[in-house]
Amino acid sequence: MRNVKLIIQYDGARYKGWQKQTENIKTVQGCLESILSSMTGEDVQLVGCGRTDTGVHALNYTANFHTNSNMVVEDMERYLYKNLPDDIAVISVKNASERFHARYNILSKTYMYRINNGQVKNVFDRRYVHRIDEKLDLDKMRQCAQVLVGTHDFQSFTTLKSKTKSTVRTINYINILENEGIIEIEVNGNGFLWNMVRIILGTLIQAGNGKIIPDDVKNILDAQKRADAGPMVPANALFLKDVEY
């Protein structure tokens, strides 16, 4: 049996996230599994590198599946190109080692969020960029971001309800860059809790608005209460940028 690795791009606007749900709920995983099953004549179970929320996009999402099919990867690429909807693309198909697992072998993930903070709205970017009219203080955002870098209990930064799962994660870096009014925030870590990135971003925007300072962020971490952190940012401007193995 072969292990096949996919690199996938998708526009998440029409989907209820990555993870397959009931048959009448449109998800990226469900769509891909249906087409892969038709391609191989097997019941394909696709392993993804993690969940993405409803409306979140991916530039380089990694997944793998096992198959007895003898179809070469070039023919798989052509089949998927022809049969996938316009908002999902498989940009790479490769044979992987038997031990490769798209979720368990991850070293880090990078998410990117885009904010239009310039003087003029861009009507063509509005579906993929979060518009903020008030000028953000990027230095204050960077100072607060540094408090979150490292290994912490991020219970304040998740909507996860379970009391049995660990909420400790490691953030390797948070980069905040600006170019002609477009702010790009990259968050890289060893893993993320449910809605964690969106809550971190909402908290950093509060810093940019002058509502909180680095000491407040430390207190939010220590409190371990979701209500103390910032609001979740809209999902439409969030992209899974890269996964490192």
What tokens appear for 227 in the block?
């209500």
Domain boundary among 96, 129, 152: 96
CATH code, domain carrying 121? 3.30.70.660
Tell whether 236 is covered by a domain. yes
Rounded Cα–Cα distance for residues 131 and 134 (Å)? 9
53 is catalytic: yes
Q: Which of 72, 96, 120 is where one domain is finished? A: 96
Q: Is residue 129 part of a domain?
A: yes
| Same domain for 228 and 136 | yes
Contact 194, 158 (CB under 8 A): yes
Residue 89 dihedral angles phi and psi, to the nearest 5° = -135, 135
Reading the chain (245 residues) residue by residue, the pLDDT tens digits are 999 999 999 999 999 999 988 777 899 999 999 999 999 999 999 999 999 999 999 999 999 999 999 999 999 999 999 999 999 999 999 999 999 999 999 999 999 999 999 988 888 888 999 999 999 999 999 999 999 999 999 999 999 877 778 999 999 999 999 999 999 999 999 999 999 999 999 999 999 999 999 999 999 999 999 999 999 999 999 999 999 99
Domain count, the chain: 2
Only one residue has tokens 């996964």, namely 243
Catalytically annotated residue among 43, 53, 125, 242? 53
**11 and 123 fall within a common domain:** no
